[in-house]
Amino acid sequence: MNAIRTVGIICKAGKPEAAEVLKDLLPWLRQRGCDVVIDVETADVLNVDGKPRAEIPSVADVIVVLGGDGTMLGVARLIADRGVPILGVNLGGLGFITEVGLEDLRAVMGEVLEGKCPVEERMVLAAVVSRGGREIGAHAALNDVVINKAALARIIEMETSVNGVHVTTFRADGLIVSTPTGSTAYSLSAGGPIIYPTLNCIAITPICPHSLSNRPLVLPDDSVIRVILRSRSEGVYLTHDGQVGFSLLKDDIVEIRKAAYTTKLLLPCQRSYFQTIRAKLKWSGRVEQGGVQ
């Protein structure tokens, strides 16, 4: 990684803990010769100058995210194809991609500034929606692209093909198309597989399928997945990383493939993926009175 001159910092909105962390972190970074650019909402709390979030990726050499996985996903979409690496700092919650705890922040930031922190490239999905032969939307997702029904909607039918070959018409509450990074998010809750994050593949996981024989599929990363909504049900939505989305109509076509760029995540040197999985999913814990130990 190139020398770091400017550190961008984006915080989860409404998290007072973030401002408290920055009161110590900002002078520490400046003592090491770094310029620091903060999102304007957090800067207002600290009574310093800031920039709109959308402008930070164009001026920063690295971006530190203080928050949770949701904040990280939003920042990943802001960065898009600029290639700026992201360091996620967990301010609470599960945090699969915000791996750094506050107690380790300075040590990990020292590794980042010295160029010793590994950079892992993660696949991104690109989804295009067409209606009546016309493209009406295009978005990217680091975790997943989801077709889902509203709470009171009936089961929906989704005609699905891969590389032009018919797979099946899923009758289910929805369908999750996820990256390996997203395999530990919504897909995991729906019974999908845990996929090592640097593998080159895409997972399709039906949500509460009408047929118990419908199981998750794992496909090569060069697959083009095409889903046509065949239901007349109202209240069907397409979402990207659970944050960006819009309503789908009957015969809308959703085409999903690997994006032309990746998201670069900075990872703590001392921690492995399996350590994270064990900690977050409570693997190998002893069941004793009072819970998992």
Whether 69 is catalytic: yes
Q: Token pair of 137, please?
A: 């939307």
Residue 195 sits at φ, ψ, to 5 deg, of -115, 130
Both tokens assigned to 187: 């897909």
- Selected catalytic residue, list 44, 61, 69, 81: 69
Cα–Cα distance between 245 and 238 in angstroms, integer? 5
Q: Which residues contact 61 (CB under 8 A, 6 or more apart)?
A: 2, 3, 4, 5, 6, 7, 84
What is d(CA 191, CA 164) in angstroms, rounded to the nearest whole number? 26
Amino acid identity, position 235 = G
Q: H/E element holding 23?
A: helix 16-31
Q: Write out the DSSP string of 258-291.
A: EEEEEEEEE--TT--HHHHHHHHHTTT--EETTE
Sheet holding 201-207, edge to edge: 217-220, 201-207, 174-178, 144-149, 236-240, 244-248
Q: Which residues are catalytic?
A: 69
